[in-house]
């Protein structure tokens, strides 16, 4: 009986701490205003469920990382555009990943492709088409993302 009472008291105290935390968040938001641009990035994802403004770019990525780095060879793009399916889409994702890593050799993950609206089957079909056109060299390992090397595309 005494153990249940102590447990109930601890749960209630935890609940009160939670409410205090929410109150602090609300006060911080009231000071900052309802503008999502000024919201603090340290607010937990639970704040979003409560309808509080939360910055979407809390990942900390630089704005420069959100651009496609060039130069991209026009002959490569023309060749990829003539291929079937989503080959050009996957090619653009490859160039984006290569720009981020600073290397012509990139691991093409399903997660990265999903960011661009590509499922894993479309990714593999496009990689096969790009490889057949000698625009990329693909090395597959079971259970791993394919390692793709961008080639210059000059046949």
Instruction: Tell me 108's DSSP state.
Output: -
Predicted pLDDT at 42: 44
CA 57 to chain centroid, in Å, comes to: 11
Q: Which two tokens stand for residue 44?
A: 């937990």
Predicted pLDDT at 77: 92
Predicted pLDDT at 132: 96
Contact of 39 with 53, CB cutoff 8 Å: yes
Question: Taking the domains of the chain in order of start, what are their residue ranges?
Answer: 2-60, 64-150
Q: How many CA atoms lie within 13 A of 130 on its CB side?
A: 33
Predicted pLDDT at 113: 93
Q: Which residue has the higher pLDDT, 151 or 57?
A: 151
Max distance between CA atoms of the chain, in angstroms, equals 82
Q: What letters, b where the CB count within 10 A reaches 16 and e where it falls short, cover 95-122? A: bbbbbeeeeeebebbeebbeeeebeeeb
Q: Which residue has the higher pLDDT, 133 or 21?
A: 133
Predicted pLDDT at 68: 80
The class that CATH gives domain 64-150 is mainly alpha
Average pLDDT, the chain: 75
> Does 64 score more than 80 pLDDT?
no
Q: How many CA atoms lie within 13 A of 18 on its CB side?
A: 8
Angle at Cα 53 formed by Cα 47 and Cα 58, nearest 5°?
Answer: 80
pLDDT digits (tens, 9 = 90+) for 16-49: 666 565 665 555 544 444 444 444 444 445 555 5
Q: Which two tokens stand for residue 145?
A: 């993302």
Rounded Cα–Cα distance for residues 118 and 134 (Å): 21
Rounded Cα–Cα distance for residues 91 and 101 (Å): 15
Can you give the pTM of this predicted structure? 0.58
Cβ–Cβ contacts within 10 Å for residue 39, how many? 20
What separation, in Å, do the N-terminal and C-terminal C-alpha atoms of the chain show?
82
């Amino acid at each position: 009986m005494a153990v249940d009472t102590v447990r109930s008291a601890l749960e209630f105290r935890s609940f009160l701490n939670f409410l205090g935390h929410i109150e602090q968040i609300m006060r911080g938001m009231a000071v900052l205003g309802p503008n999502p641009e000024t919201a603090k990035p340290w607010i937990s994802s639970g704040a979003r469920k409560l309808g509080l403004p939360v910055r979407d770019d809390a990942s900390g990525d630089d704005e420069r990382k959100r651009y496609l780095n060039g130069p991209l060879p026009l002959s490569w793009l023309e060749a990829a555009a003539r291929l079937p399916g989503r080959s050009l889409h996957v090619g653009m994702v490859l160039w984006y990943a290569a720009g981020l890593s600073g290397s012509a050799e990139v691991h093409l993950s399903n997660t990265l492709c999903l960011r661009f609206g590509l499922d894993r089957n479309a990714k593999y079909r496009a990689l096969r088409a790009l490889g057949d056109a000698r625009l990329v060299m693909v090395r597959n390992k079971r259970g791993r993302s394919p390692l793709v090397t961008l080639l210059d595309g000059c046949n």
